[in-house]
């Protein structure tokens, strides 16, 4: 079956632009996570959804970062007024409650 998909796979933005990154989780998965992976580092937690409820957004680095999952399936991570330090790979993962997380391929964001 289909795994977690993310789009776009690559995004180049000029500093100050807004971007939107999409995650399509595995159908039926309740949990959805966003992680940020800087070059040469491990992924770092950004936010967590259980169905449509955002239960933890403690990892979002600033109020320029916003995530939503309005119908409990597809999720969008939005970054407003992008800065160079936002350049990273953004990973989405989905899973059943408390169970294994399946990761998507990531979106590589480059802010010029």
Partner 1 sequence: GDSVTQMEGPVTLSEEAFLTINCTYTATGYPSLFWYVQYPGEGLQLLLKATKADDKGSNKGFEATYRKETTSFHLEKGSVQVSDSAVYFCALSDQSRGTSYGKLTFGQGTILTVHP
Q: List contacts with partner 1 (CB under 8 A).
A: 3-4, 31, 33, 35, 40-45, 48, 50, 55-56, 91, 93, 95, 97-101, 103-106
Shortest reach from residue 105's CB to partner 1, in Å:
5
Q: What are the C-alpha distances in Å from 98 to residues 1, 20, 43?
A: 21, 27, 19
By beta-carbon proximity to partner 1, the closer residue of 17 and 73 is 73
By beta-carbon proximity to partner 1, the closer residue of 14 and 100 is 100
Shortest reach from residue 61's CB to partner 1, in Å:
16
Q: What are phi and psi of 73, to 5 degrees?
A: -125, -90
Shortest reach from residue 62's CB to partner 1, in Å:
19
By beta-carbon proximity to partner 1, the closer residue of 17 and 74 is 74
In this structure, the strands spanning 10-13 and 107-111 are: parallel
């Amino acid at each position: 079956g289909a795994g977690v998909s993310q789009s776009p796979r690559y995004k180049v933005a000029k500093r100050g632009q807004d971007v939107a990154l999409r995650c399509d989780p595995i159908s039926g998965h309740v949990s959805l996570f966003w992680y940020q992976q800087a070059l040469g580092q491990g992924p770092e937690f950004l936010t967590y959804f259980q169905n449509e409820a955002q239960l933890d957004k403690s990892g979002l680095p600033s109020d320029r970062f916003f995530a939503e999952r309005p119908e409990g399936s597809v999720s969008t991570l939005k970054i407003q007024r992008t800065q160079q330090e936002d350049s990273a790979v953004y990973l989405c993962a989905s899973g059943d409650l408390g169970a294994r997380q399946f990761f998507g391929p990531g979106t590589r964001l480059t802010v010029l």
